[in-house]
Chain A
Amino acid sequence: MSNFYGFYTLLAREIWRFLKVSIQTILTPVITVLLYLLIFSSVISKSRQMLPGVDYLTFLIPGLMVMAMLQNAFANSSSSLFQSRLNGNVIFVLLAPISDFEIYAAFVGAAVVRGALVGIGVWLAALIFSMVPIKHPLYVFIFTIFSTSSLGALGLVSAIIADKWDHISAFQNFIIVPFSFLSGVFFSIRDLPPFWEKASYFNPFFYFVDGFRYSCLGVSEMTVGVSLKVSLLFFLLSSAWALALLWRGSNLRG
């Protein structure tokens, strides 16, 4: 037995919520990325080859797309669920015949949609600078799903664990932001000192970025198969974590 319409309504609620504040949830992140592009494109030599046949700007844009998608997917599920917890209106969902998995799927689904919209927004805005090709649309789709749903699931985790906004912001600023900045968005990890290069291979976000870059440009640092496997694994782990917390009821069903 399932309650598909209940899941669908919750998904719609989550998407509707961020669309009602789309200046903050879509436009702002796109503008932020535009600023990065402006700054980096003016200080770093455009002719510099980052990957075979790829100049810096073309290298940077897909990376920024993934970074914006990751951060916004996380922000969506974490702030929506946590705000509902604080306001108390989370009980309207908890009282309804909606399963833990349906709750997970609805929140993560909305995080994917917001991440994808921000990604598309960044791609469109970046047209001012450069037209980034989409060489492998199917991979673009798959890496978008894996990366945004992983971060959507982590957003749920942080919203369930947190006791105050401070905790959400700590999760975001001490984990999500550093991991996304150090994932090879702005540079090739081969340019790093050996220790940091090795460390980067343990950063799952690196595989999201590298895989997504391959999907757009057709070249990357790792082979796409490796990125795909690591991304899938990370998606499964973060989802399992979120589902386990929902299932245990921690902080939601005292």
Chain B
Amino acid sequence: MNAIEVIDLKKNYGSLQALTGVDLSIAEGAFFALLGPNGAGKSTLINIIAGLTRASSGRAAILGHDVRKEWRASRYKLGVVPQELAYDPFFTVREMLTLQSGYFGLGRENRPWLDELLKALGLEDKADTSMNHLSGGMKRRVLIAQALVHRPPVVILDEPTAGVDVALREQLWSFIRSLNRKGHTIILTTHYLEEAENMCDEIAILDRGRLVVSAAKDELLSRYSWRQLRLQLLPESRFKLPADMAAKQESAPKGELLLRLHREHDRIDEVLAALEATGVKFSDLRIHEPGLTEVYSELTGGGENHE
């Protein structure tokens, strides 16, 4: 069974189509990144799954429980860390967690787990501090603890590291990774593509309300068909590129030659031979394999368009 199953999901706000028929499956146990530019529909999709927004049509289910028809069961299965630093100003950290745990029907018996969460997130000495007096980073940790009070098998984190300093970011990632190892399905959105590339094993990209791609990270990266060849030119190098080579050239600093090569059509040995024949002499060469940033730019039209 899939952790998340979304079928032909549509959401309109008046004439604006926030989601235009999204289909998405996320396997149980996955570490999944949901990426896309601002306004792509990520938050709308997450909110529909979490029951915070209602879809115009289509359906969404968490571990087989439809979020509308079996809303109670689906909510027990899901923990959500919201993007905004929402907090209840009337209560302390421990009171917040106790209330949240109560909303899920859990009483005193859940105390040891709440203590464990406080400890795991480094909140022990803030347990009796009012939410009003916490720093942004601390509030972020409380949000994560709150999302986990009922030990949900599926956890959604909406921009968990936005506005978080480097040290805390690493702590949070190692905590989230440990959750994943314990079997929780992790779904996150982030603006930091390197984070998604390093952490996640499945990636989906939304753009303008449409699911552009959803695939295993390695497969996605290998799908991108371009790489860059960078040559450090020798001063005595004098040449004029033939038209077919010039078409591959990209702007580079003085003393360097940068070519954009197709993975399959441009064989490195042939390219180098052709360059040598035109008089190119170089002292060093580097090949830059594409990362998520390039794939993302290509798929969302966010980067330069070479086609």
A interface residues with partner B (beta carbon < 8 Å): 1, 3-6, 8-10, 12-13, 16-17, 20-21, 84, 87-89, 91-99, 249, 253-254
> Which residues of A lie under 8 Å from residue B105 when comparing CB positions?
3-6, 97
Residues of B within 8 A of A9 (CB): 99, 102-103
Are the CB atoms of B53 and A89 closer together than 8 Å? no
Q: Which residue of A has the minimal Cβ distance to B100?
A: A92
Query: Are B52 and A91 in contact, with the CB atoms below 8 A?
Result: yes
Closest 6 CB pairs of A and B: A9-B102, A88-B86, A96-B103, A97-B72, A97-B75, A89-B88
Choose, from B30-38, B76-84, B209-217, B240-248, the stretch at the interface: B76-84
B residues neighboring A (CB under 8 Å): 13, 47, 50-54, 71-73, 75-76, 78, 80, 82, 84, 86-91, 99-100, 102-107, 146
Of the residues B50, B52, B86, B107, contact of A89 by C-beta under 8 Å:
B86
A102 CB, min distance to chain B CBs, angstroms = 10
- Complex Cα distance, B75 from A104, in Å, reads 19
Q: Which of A6, A84, A254 contacts B104 (CB 8 A)?
A: A6
Known: A3-B72, A84-B88. A95 touches B51 (CB 8 A): yes
In the complex, which residues of chain B have a beta carbon less than 8 angstroms from the beta carbon of A6?
A: 102-105
A3, A12, A249, most chain B CB atoms within 10 A: A3
Question: How many inter-chain residue pairs (CB < 8 Å) link A and B?
Answer: 82
Q: Contacts of B52 on A, CB cut-off 8 Å?
A: 91, 94-95, 253-254
Q: Give bound CA distance, A109 to B104, whole Å.
A: 19
Contact A253:B51 (CB < 8 A) given known A12-B102, A96-B100, A97-B72 = yes
- Nearest CB of chain A from residue B102's CB, rounded to whole Å: 3
In whole Å, how far is A194's beta carbon from the nearest beta carbon of chain B?
A: 49
Q: Are A92 and B86 in contact (CB under 8 A)?
A: yes
CA distance A4 to B76 in the complex (A): 15
B82 touching A13 by the CB < 8 A rule?
Answer: no
Contact for B88 among A3, A92, A253, A254, CB less than 8 A: A92
C-alpha gap A21/B89 in the complex (Å): 12
A86 CB, nearest partner CB in chain B, Å: 10
List, in ascending order, chain A residues with CB within 8 A of B73's CB.
97
The interface residues of chain A lying within 8 Å CB-to-CB of B106 are 5
- Which of chain B's residues have a CB closer than 8 A to the CB of A21? 90
State whether A97 touches B54 (Cβ < 8 A). Answer: no
Contacts of B76 in A (CB 8 A): 97
Residues B87 and A87 in contact, CB atoms below 8 Å apart: yes
Beyond the given A94-B51, A95-B50, please list 7 additional residue pairs across the A-B interface where CB-CB is below 8 A: A6-B103, A13-B102, A20-B90, A84-B88, A95-B75, A97-B72, A97-B103
Indicate if the CB atoms of A87 and B103 lie closer than 8 Å: no
| Residues of the A chain whose Cβ atoms lie less than 8 Å from the Cβ of B72 | 1, 3, 97, 99
Which residue in B53, B90, B107 is a CB contact (below 8 Å) of A5?
B107
